[in-house]
A = this chain, B = another copy of it.
């Protein structure tokens, strides 16, 4: 069913929550966000780490540290969130250079033909920002 990972769903919630607090100028800690969103704290921490790795949020270590957005919600595309959590968008195994993965390689008539579909989805997801949600 074209399942989107639950972590990605959480990421959106967390980002929206960060944006809300942004107005107050205060940084958010992972326990704080967990309490505000109802998402288990370790999971929030994991999501934030992934988002930080992707550059969507910046972290401040030490006491009084926390997380902060790097851009406004309107400047963050859904595709970026998905890519940050679930990795690059790829529907089938055949998309990237995974040659050995397909045993019917020589017979497969649609070899590598998922690319246009992939591109279409990526385009659609890039056109939607978090502010649209």
Give A contacts to B, CB under 8 Å: 1-4, 6, 9, 12-13, 16-17, 20, 36-39, 78, 82, 86-94, 103-104, 107-110, 113-114, 116-117, 120-121, 123-125, 127-128, 132-133
Could you tell me if A39 and B104 are in contact, using CB atoms closer than 8 angstroms? yes
Among A2, A82, A113, the most chain B Cβ lie within 10 Å of the Cβ of A2
Q: How many copies, total?
A: 2
Which of B1, B114, B133 makes the CB contact (< 8 A) with A89?
A: B1
Q: A13-B108, A107-B36, A109-B17 are in contact. Are A116 and B128 (CB under 8 A)?
A: yes
From DSSP, what is the main secondary structure of chain A's interface residues? loop
Hey, which chain B residues are within 8 Å of A92, CB to CB? 4, 6, 9
